[in-house]
Amino acid sequence: MSRISVRGFAVASATAVTTVGAVVGVASGSTAQPSNNEAEATASDATLLADIPTGQQAQVQTASLTQQAETQAIAADNAAQKSAEEAARKQAAEDAVAKQQAAADAKAKAEKEAKARAEAKKVASRSATRDASSFATQASYSASQIQAMARQMVPAGQFQCFSNIVDHESSWNYQATNASSGAFGLFQALPASKYSSAGADWQTNPATQIKWGLNYMDSRYGSPCEAWTFWQANHWY
């Protein structure tokens, strides 16, 4: 039984007792005086009646419960939003780290591949099919003969770049001399004595000059084609 129903029952009971007492008193011809028990019951009843919510009090209580529910709902929404934002920030941080790692991996891979290609170019460039010493010595050489020698000494993939430089430097004249500077030979080496690192017969043997020129391009630029790229930009190498 609820608090209100208990209180209602108590009030009804107290009212009934009071009414009976009044009737008895009238019948006996005397004024009814409430006994101590009756007075206590009446006081108790008044307290119970005061505790029973009126219509306005019920509305206030209902509004308070509604407000509490709304506050709890707002708090729950805020907590959910905060949790979602935290999860989003965490995911964004993880994504950023993953992107950075992927970029670093891609860069390392690209550098490794570039290094491998460069090394392969150097190996290919230095892998001449014939050495300068394998050619028979002649009293003189035509441009076409020198070109034929170079084709056998310079890797096929590098020959055109090699030829472009020689065309511009000496037009395949192994005895070409710059009167003002003293630059000499197919590659216009300065001083001319640089050729001696490839062989003592550098003044009369174009194969020795070709050997020196190929080694120079490989060591300084990585390959004849890289040397040609530099030459195009600067008109010297």
**Domain CATH for 228:** 1.10.530
Does residue 161 share a domain with residue 103? Answer: no
Higher pLDDT, 224 or 2: 224
Residue of 137, 136, 128, 143 lying closest to 215 (CA atoms): 128
Please report whether residue 59 resides in a domain.
no
Does residue 164 share a domain with residue 226? Answer: yes
Does residue 95 share a domain with residue 83? Answer: yes
Over residues 138-148, mean pLDDT: 95
Is residue 20's pLDDT more than 60?
A: no
Does residue 114 share a domain with residue 22? Answer: no
Instruction: List pLDDT tens digits, range 158-190.
Output: 999 999 999 999 999 999 999 999 999 999 999
Does residue 139 share a domain with residue 114? Answer: no
Alpha carbon 13 to chain centroid, angstroms: 82
Please report whether residue 61 resides in a domain.
no
Please report whether residue 93 resides in a domain.
yes
CA angle in degrees (0–180, nearest 5) for 77-79-81: 65
Q: What local confidence, expressed as pLDDT, does residue 237 receive?
A: 93
Q: What local confidence, expressed as pLDDT, does residue 201 receive?
A: 95
Is residue 13's pLDDT more than 60?
A: no
Determine which of 1-5, 40-44, 133-137 has the lowest per-residue pLDDT on average: 1-5
Does residue 139 share a domain with residue 98? Answer: no
Higher pLDDT, 46 or 171: 171
Domain that holds residue 32: 1-53
Q: What local confidence, expressed as pLDDT, does residue 37 receive?
A: 55
b or e along 96-107 (b: 16 or more beta carbons within 10 Å of the residue's beta carbon)?
eeeeeeeeeeee
Instruction: List pLDDT tens digits, range 99-131.
Output: 889 888 889 888 888 877 776 665 555 555 578
**E strand map for 68-132:** none
Say if pTM beats, i.e. exceeds, 0.75: no
Please report whether residue 65 resides in a domain.
no
Please report whether residue 33 resides in a domain.
yes
Residue at token pair 């950075």: 100
Please report whether residue 60 resides in a domain.
no
Task: Kindly tell me the number of DSSP H helices and DSSP E strands found in the chain.
Answer: 7, 0
Which domain-ending residue is among 99, 126, 153? 126
Please report whether residue 148 resides in a domain.
yes
Q: How many domains does the chain have?
A: 3
pLDDT band at 60 (very low <50, low <70, confident <90, very high): confident
